[in-house]
Every structure is written in C-alpha cells, then in structure tokens.
C-alpha cells in the first residue's frame, strides 16, 4: 500500500507544501526545493529488495546526463546534454515522443549541459546550450515557440539550469559568471514566449548598487544565474541565487562590493522588481557563487516559528536567512577544510578574509569547485535534517590580471587541484541539523559526490557516486542499506514518484560536466568515471509491495 507519511500538525502542513506525492513536478521536487518525497512504500525495512524495473538510453552521449527527471501524470520528461527532450511512460519506460534540438555550431565555455526541464500549462520548457528557451507541446513534443535569449556567439552564454514556472511565466537564468558578461534573470510569457521582464544582476547607471562597480567594470562583471530558483506562493516571492563576479580571482578592476554578485535576491515574480537582497560574499574573489539551491522551510528559530531560507553555499558554509526580509540569521561551515575566511560574524560579515594575491600562489580551501557543486541537497521534515553531498578538495590559486574579450572566459588567474591539509581529497554525504549547523552523521566516500540527494518518507536518503554506485542510506543513522551499479558515473538528480499505486525511484547515469572533468586532476591515479546517458528506474517486486 502506498501512503504519505503521517506526521504531526505543524510538520504535516510543511510536508503538504514541500513534499512531493505521486508526481515529481518541479526541479527541486516542488518550488520550495526540498527534494523530499512523501512516498513511503519503499522504506528502511524493504529497500534491500529494490530491483531495476526498466532502463532507457537517451542516445545523446555528448557530456553525460545531469538532468532531474520530471514526472507528471505518469509521464517522465528528461533533457539531455544536447538539449534534446524525451517523454517516457514512467511505469514502463516506453518512448512517447522525442524532440532533438538542432542547435547551432556555437561552442560556449560551459560545453553542453542541461539539468532539466519545467512542465506547466501544457508546455515542456527547456533551455539550450546556445542560449535559447524553447516551449514544446506536453502531449506531442511539437515546438511551440523558440526564443533566442541573447546571441551566444556574442555573450558566450548558455542556459544550463532547469527553468521555473511561476503562475503565467517561465523564468530562466543564464551562465556567464566566469566570463566577461553582465548577468540577468529573464521571465517569459509561458504561452507566447514574449519577454515580460528582465532583472540585471549587475546594476546599470542610475540604479541602486551601480556605485559598487568602478568605471566600466559593470558591463562585464559576471553575476550569472545558472541554477534554478525557488518560489513561495504564500509570500508571492521569487528567490534566486546569483553567481560570482568576473574576473573570478582578480578584483583589481572591480574594487567594491560588486552588487548583486554572490547574493541571494527576492523578486516580485510579476514585475521582476527587487524586494530584498543579501550579499553573502561581497567582492567575491574565490569563485564562490551563491547560485545553488534555496531550500524554503518554516521552522522554529530561537523559540519562534519563522519562514527560513537555507543555502549550502559553494564556499562550504550553510547560510540561513529570514526569507520574508533577507535578514541574516546564521552561517556554519559544513566542510572540514576551510581557510578562505576565519568565520562569519553574527551580522553576516566575513571575518579574516584570506584573498588571492596577484602573482602569488596560495593554497585555498575549498577549491574553486567549492565545498559542494550544483547537485542539490535535501530536507526531510520526517527527521528534521538536511542532507548534503560535500567535497574536501583544495587548490593552489594564483591570481593574475588578464585582458579578455566580451563573452570570453575571465578567471583572472590559474589553479591546480591539491589535497587538503588533513588528508587526501575526498567526498562525503552528511546529515546536518538546520537549526544548529551540527553534523549528525557522515557517510564517507573516496571521491567527490556530484549527484543530488533525495530523501523520502520511507526514512531513506539516495545518492550516487562517480564509480557508478547508486545507493540508499538510513536517513537517521547514515547506514548504507542498498546499492546498485548503474555502469556510469552518477552526476544527475534522482527522484521518486508513483504510478498506479507503485512507488518508483529513478536516477540518471552518465558522467560529465566541467567539474566532473576535474576528476582526473584531483585523483590522477584513479580510473576515470564512465560516461553514458541512461535512466535507471527501480521499484519493489510486485509481490512485496
């Protein structure tokens, strides 16, 4: 029997808003980005019986498979590295339709990557590697509209993140934080593709915050929006994380706070107007984007129930904000090696900044790959814990001044991956108490984990590693209960859904991406993860449900 977890009244309301049920309708599960399934047919007592029930090869082997499968009404929608979109029968794996994006010959510095689609109002929406946003008919895959957001041959940008549907609009970010480019977030009419508003992450002349960019540095200041934001329907606020400033490691031409890079912003979704912002890292010189997932949860905080926003930041810190006004509440390190600052003050100010220096090589921890990558963390209202895949890798970083062309890469230095001072480079999955920052348990891995985390009402946490093992842990203890070899490195995002009363767990398989390509630099003597582009789907045997 398939049921939703029974919980107490306050937790029940939270689970109802942030947990998924039969479907997995959005990139983060719901617009609150918990990556938590309320299904419990598969649980700690029977997960060892989980078996593969179908698999599907996408046929696109350009750069692995990073996407989050979206499941609506028994149909799974998946995007591939080359911006193809595939619709499958979610119970049987049979192909319903396929859209192969013809694209262009434009090659951006970000390669070909796609982390998923959005589904809404009869449309399937996907961003492309050459910076188009496309709407397809949900039933047939027929192209309905195709918008060139900004010519990629000029800006060097692309859309790698999954779009987000909010009311009658579809909202899409753009890459460009590591290039001479001015970032933005765009909202389009979901029916016509017409641009409704655009929020520039770097203020132009006459706008508040423009004075944080000296001279013409604002024109090429980075500030990408390359991951997917969150939305609170009760507050009617759209939240988005903003990427690093450019050039990444050299701030000599951009002395100032560099708003709104490395910030979290709250926008009016109807107009794109800024409601509040919190700049986590002023004048970022480490490539520590604040662009990752924004987990929205209502929890007690110092004796009062509050509307909170959490981000496991690339810097290796977990930030906590009041999402009604952006007020800083606390920040804690979730990695074991961190020397870029000494601490975060009670005001949110960074204490003891350890900055790159022009022409001088310094060991920086975490590395520019971060304490975690874009792969999402998860929040379980059942345990009250958050689950994050973290990595312990440092880098010798040398800042230097470079002349760059508009749209071209602008790192402002060089870097070489190095192990941390306390031992070899490695990864782990940790359970974190979001109210104290304390680690409850840790599951160690020999290499970094670059797959998203899924938690479920069955008391389970799922993730996958570069060696191809997709595994399940006990959400309360971290004990490994089950694993399956997918044959390709795990780089995407697993999900759970149900069709006709049967719960399924689905995961992408196939190694890829720029950060994935750094595996050989961090572990030069280890076998490289295998590529591919497949979906594996698991369920309990019919007799054991």
The catalytic residues are 287
CA angle 6, 10, 12 (to 5 degrees): 30
Q: Which string of DSSP letters, residue by residue, matches 162-191?
A: PPEEETTEEEE----TTBS-B-EEEEEETT
Which two three-digit tokens encode residue 280?
A: 């986590």
Judged by DSSP in three states, 65 sits in coil
Judged by DSSP in three states, 462 sits in strand
Q: What share of the chain is helix, strand, coil (3-state, %, to 5)?
A: 5, 40, 55
Place of tokens 């939305």: 231
Mode of pairing for the β-strands spanning 36-37 and 454-456 = parallel
Bridge partner list, 430: 388, 442
Report the first-to-last Cα separation within the chain, whole angstroms.
7
Cβ count near 403 (within 10 Å): 7
Cβ count near 250 (within 10 Å): 20
Q: Which string of DSSP letters, residue by residue, matches 219-276?
A: GG-B----S--EEETTTTEEEEE---BSSSS--TT--S--TTTTEEEEE-TTT--EEE
């Amino acid at each position: 029997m398939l049921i939703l977890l029974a919980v107490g009244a306050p937790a029940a309301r939270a689970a109802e808003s942030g947990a998924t049920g039969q479907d997995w309708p959005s990139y983060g599960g719901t617009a609150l980005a918990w990556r938590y399934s309320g299904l419990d047919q598969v649980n700690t007592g029977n997960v060892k019986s989980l078996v593969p029930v179908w698999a599907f090869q996408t046929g696109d082997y350009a750069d692995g498979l990073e996407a989050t499968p979206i499941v609506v009404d028994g149909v799974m929608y998946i995007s591939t590295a080359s911006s193809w979109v595939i619709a499958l029968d979610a119970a049987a794996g049979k192909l319903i339709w396929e859209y192969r994006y013809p694209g262009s010959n434009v090659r951006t510095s970000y390669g070909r990557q796609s982390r998923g689609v959005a589904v809404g109002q009869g449309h399937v929406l996907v961003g492309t590697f050459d910076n188009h946003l496309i709407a397809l008919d949900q039933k047939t895959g027929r192209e309905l509209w195709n918008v060139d957001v900004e010519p990629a041959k000029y800006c060097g940008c692309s859309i790698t993140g999954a779009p987000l549907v909010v009311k009658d609009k579809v909202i899409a970010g753009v890459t460009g934080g590591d290039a001479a480019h001015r970032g933005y977030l765009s909202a389009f009419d979901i029916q016509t593709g017409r641009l409704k508003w655009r929020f520039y992450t770097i203020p132009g002349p006459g706008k508040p915050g423009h004075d944080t960019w000296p001279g013409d540095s604002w024109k090429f200041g980075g500030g990408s929006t390359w991951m997917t934001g969150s939305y609170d329907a009760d507050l009617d606020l759209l939240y988005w994380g903003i990427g690093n400033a450019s050039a990444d490691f050299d701030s000599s031409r951009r002395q100032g706070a560099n708003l709104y890079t490395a910030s979290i912003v709250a926008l009016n979704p109807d107009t794109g107007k800024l409601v509040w912002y919190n700049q986590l890292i002023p004048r970022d010189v480490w490539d520590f984007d604040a662009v990752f997932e924004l987990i929205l949860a209502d929890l007690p905080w110092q004796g009062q129930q509050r509307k909170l926003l959490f981000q496991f930041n690339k810097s290796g810190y977990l930030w906590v904000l009041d999402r009604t006004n952006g007020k800083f509440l606390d920040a804690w390190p979730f990695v074991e090696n961190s020397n870029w600052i000494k601490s975060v003050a009670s005001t949110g100010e960074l204490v003891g900044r350890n900055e790159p220096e022009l022409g001088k090589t310094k060991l920086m921890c975490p590395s520019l790959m971060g304490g975690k990558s874009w792969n999402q963390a998860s929040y379980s209202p059942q345990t009250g814990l958050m689950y994050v895949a973290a990595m312990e890798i440092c880098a010798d970083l040398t800042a230097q001044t470079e002349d760059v062309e508009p749209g071209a890469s602008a790192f402002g230095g060089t870097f070489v991956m190095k192990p941390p001072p306390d031992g070899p480079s490695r990864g782990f999955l940790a359970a974190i108490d979001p109210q104290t920052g304390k680690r409850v348990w840790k599951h160690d891995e020999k290499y970094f984990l670059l797959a998203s985390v899924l938690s479920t009402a069955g008391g389970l946490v799922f993730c996958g590693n570069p060696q191809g093992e997709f595994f399940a842990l006990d959400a309360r203890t971290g004990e490994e209960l089950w694993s399956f070899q997918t044959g390709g490195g795990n780089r995407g995002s697993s999900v759970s859904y149900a069709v006709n009363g049967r719960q399924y767990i689905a995961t992408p398989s196939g190694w890829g991406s720029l950060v994935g390509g750094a595996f050989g630099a961090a572990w030069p003597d280890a076998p490289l993860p295998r590529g591919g582009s497949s979906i594996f789907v698991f369920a309990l045997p019919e007799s054991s449900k």
